[in-house]
Amino acid sequence: MRVTSVSETDPTVSNPVIPGFFPDPSVCRAGDDYYLACSSFEYFPGVPLFHSRDLVHWTQIGNALDRPSQLRLPPDTASSGGIYAPTLRHHDGRFWLIVTNVSGDGNLLFTATDPAGPWSDPIRLPGVHGIDPDIAWDDDGTCWCTTAGVGQIRLDPHTGETSGTRRQLWSGAPGAKAPEAPHLYHIGDHWYLLIAEGGTERGHGVSIARGSTPTGPFEPCPANPILSHRGTDHPVQNTGHADLVQGPDGSWWMVLLGVRPGGGTPGWHVMGRETYLVPVEWVDGWPVVGELSTDMPAPPWPLGPPAVAPERRDDFDAAELAPQWISLRRRLPEDCTTKERPGSLTLRARGESLDDADVTFVGRRQQHPSCRVRTLVDVTEGQGRGGLAVRLDELHHYSVETSAGQVRVRARIGPLSTVVASRPVPPGPVVLRAETAPAPMVDARTGPDLVSLGFEEPDGTYVELASLDGRYLSTEVAGGFTGRVFGMFASAASAHFDWFDYEPLES
């Protein structure tokens, strides 16, 4: 396994602490261990889970929702639908995960004794309305569920039953849109209600209020928003959707989401919303958030074990896919298997192209601004067609695919879909390749990066078929809440992938 760590001679750590499309972080502490969960939207398995001993190095240990009985995403689930905004907590010897499936099942609660799994089947919460659910227990054991809006109701977490009426608590600054992502904490003499507001775009921010009971009334912090980069030239924007946690030395920290826009005006972010870490101090009973830096000072405690990053290369020798691999809406064993051809991933086509919601697709998130992705694909049996895609959603994706002795680059940008380039290749398996690199700055309209797509000759020579503007695979163009995913797909018959290699490159 490849590991990443902080150099003993370098007193800084890199932010984001979890790069790539890992938004809406929620964190909890259990003894000396920290666990963090993120939203997963239309991808299966859902809710990636991470472990750390120091809040800096995070290793993915699994996905909480890895069975169809836990995660039902119909084939017509819209991109940026599905699973929203989990809250992860450790209480009374168990881990609790509450989340919203906006594509049909509403609010759901799961439990586990080990956050690496298995997690329970869902407890349905028909009496909990709204997205972004949070759970907190008061001193007498009463469980309170707070949702975007910001409203609250009493919840029995063992049965899913609610009691009483939903109470409106506090909705942030007057006139601020989208009060959401509530988290409730009992810290010292006060109950604190942390929310996001301003929308998850450039106006995003974090605000807080406090009261003497978990039901309020709540007094807003006079310094709200306690964190926002709106109206600044900070390299990290859209900062919000935060959660508080206490560090190993008793200090306080905040995890939150942010994006890294690139290019000219208005700036485009392509890797989705990422997880950042910032320090917090308490002054006069209010949290004061420290500077969010991409190279932040190392925390004042011994750093734990280095993070175990996903393997750069996967030869598909294992019976099951590693946790970083995600599929669209579901993963049927008959359509995705490493058992048919040992040492290869076999994908059988459902949808006819990446434009289809039900296309057979297996990918991993883009986590570096510059990277190279390669895969060896064989479609020589029958009428197979498959390839390598850079995907944002059904309406925004680039791909390089092979079939019938041809390699083609396709581009889908909104209503436009076209074959950009094609080239004949000899029969047999072919290495397909995609690369991203920052675009040379020309003027204010320059996009964030260039996406190169092509294939490799038998001697390893790269044949670039197209270099495409990366802005069209950005949230600012496509909309939604997700980031880029590099993946393998089959769009006719079967495609066999012998290996997949993801290589970070220097910008």
Which residues are the active-site residues? Answer: 24, 180
Q: Residue 442 class from Cβ within 10 Å (0-12 exposed, 13-18 middle, 19+ buried)?
A: exposed
Instruction: List CB contacts of 413: < 8 A, sequence separation 6 or more.
Output: 395, 396, 472, 477
Nearest one of 231, 306, 316 to 500, comparing CA atoms = 316
Q: Where are the alpha helices (DSSP H) in 122-259?
A: none
Which residue is it, tokens 């066999």? 496
In the chain the first and final C-alpha atoms are separated, in Å, by: 24
Q: Residue 124 class from Cβ within 10 Å (0-12 exposed, 13-18 middle, 19+ buried)?
A: middle
Q: What is the rounded distance in angstroms from the CA atom of residue 155 to the CA atom of residue 128?
A: 8
304-313: burial string, b at 16+ Cβ within 10 Å, e else: beebbbbeee
Residue 190 bridge partners (DSSP) = 187
Q: What is the rounded distance in angstroms from the CA atom of residue 390 to the CA atom of residue 435?
A: 10
Which residue is it, tokens 């190993």? 248
- Which structure tokens are listed for 444? 């204010």
Q: What is the DSSP letter of 198?
A: S
Three-state DSSP state, 473: helix
What are all long-range contacts of 61-69, with beta carbons under 8 Å and residues at least 24 apart?
A: 61/115, 61/116, 61/323, 62/115, 62/116, 62/117, 62/323, 63/323, 64/37, 64/97, 64/110, 64/112, 64/115, 64/117, 64/119, 65/40, 65/110, 65/119, 66/117, 66/119, 67/121, 68/330, 69/121, 69/122
Q: Which helix or strand (DSSP H or E) is residue 100 part of?
A: strand 94-101
Rg, C-alpha atoms of the chain: 23
Q: What sign results for the dihedral spanned by CA atoms 321, 327, 331, 334?
A: negative
Nearest one of 250, 267, 254, 247 to 439, comparing CA atoms = 267
